[in-house]
Amino acid sequence: MMSQTLNVDQIRKDFPILSRRLHGNKALVYLDSTATAQKPVTVIRAMEDYYNQTNANIHRGVHTLAEEATAAYEGARERIAKFIGARHAREVIFTRNTTESINLVAYSWARKNLVSGDVVILTEMEHHSNLVPWQILADERGIRLEFIPVTEEGELDLLTYQNLLELRPKLVAFSQMSNVLGTINPAREIIEMAHRAGAVTLIDGAQSVPHLPVDVQQLGADFLAFSAHKMCGPTGIGVLYGRRDLLEAMPPFLGGGDMIKRVTLRSFSPNELPHKFEAGTPAIAEVIGFGAAVDYLIQMGMNNIAAHEHAITRYALDRLSEISGLKLIGPSAEKKGGVCAFTMEGIHPHDIAQLLDREGIAVRAGHHCAMPLHQRYGLPATTRASFYLYNTFDEVDLLAEALERAKELFG
């Protein structure tokens, strides 16, 4: 089978690691993009070029290298802002990752605006990154956490959500796409309902931004967090998008250089956005690589990527459902992104992952930083195969064939 939207054979040539051979010259079948995506050569070269040609600190220097580095860094911010539909580049704050972006909201916005008894609504399908910061705040401030349930089919129970909104929450924070179930949640509807109840919203976009078009203005998003490494970019760099009025009213997250306008021995004045939230020397090369990754995804077309993943996920669900004793977790292909989490009767997920690795197939096994979700389904762990723009239908066949052999091996 071939994708009708992308030339995947040509795309694979852009990713050097996909030519690697493992365990007796077996071709690498990389099905773990939900954990981290592979990097195209354009991203790798952009970072190499910075270090080879332009390496200098940004914002402070007036020499040629400093000015070039600053232009490249801020140029990446402009392109990333445009990629997510932000009104202003200054609404894009660079962080280390999605986790730090969510923590920035928890430590800055929430600690300024939430008091004991205030309600924060989350969901049962959240990654730990969008659970633990709010649990810490609940212990510290006495805020009340409520959760939108997940149905047996892997979707959010929006009727219960409507009832929870009667509690007049101050914040609704949710994942746009589950890293386990693959469920694509109706973000715009969730946000509109939250706004009618007077709540601010935070989207965990770690899984959605890399895989489908996300426009913060169309969604009406107040905050959006995402990471470069899941969207063909480098590790160690992420983004918090925030509405300008919200960000301007928030206190700084970290103190130090570059986040200040004026300092005396006893006081300081914070810098303007976005620098107020970017203390110290930032991850300059990583931001430049992030910009190159966004350029690459734009070239491929986010609608094309989403369509390819939808097709390959539908095919994978069909193939895996043919294997007796294998149980898929999550909704149908029409309601999910490129994620297939499953269990196999009589075989622990870690054993499945190790057996697949011997075949050169890389998948993830465990609770995927979503322990409460697994508890909701009564599962200690699952095996997860995930897909991106460089995966093929043939790789799905190799996965299915290897799982059949694993089943035979375990009797």
Contact 226, 104 (CB under 8 A): no
Report the C-alpha gap between 285 and 174 in whole angstroms. 30
Structure tokens of 8? 């995947």
Beta-bridge partners for 204:
175, 225
Report the C-alpha gap between 62 and 71 in whole angstroms. 12
Beta strand 382-386 with 339-344 is antiparallel
Contact 24, 329 (CB under 8 A): no
Amino acid at residue number 92: V
Report the C-alpha gap between 29 and 12 in whole angstroms. 12
Beta strand 29-30 with 361-362 is parallel
Which sign, positive or negative, has the C-alpha torsion 377, 368, 387, 157?
positive
Structure tokens of 136? 């810490």
Q: How many helices (H) and strands (E) does the chain have?
A: 15, 17
232 is catalytic: no
- The active-site residue out of 369, 371, 401, 410 is 369
Helix (H) or strand (E) holding 192: helix 187-196
Report the C-alpha gap between 89 and 28 in whole angstroms. 38
Contact 67, 75 (CB under 8 A): no
Helix (H, G, I), strand (E, B) or coil at 183: strand
Q: Which residues have a catalytic role annotated?
A: 369
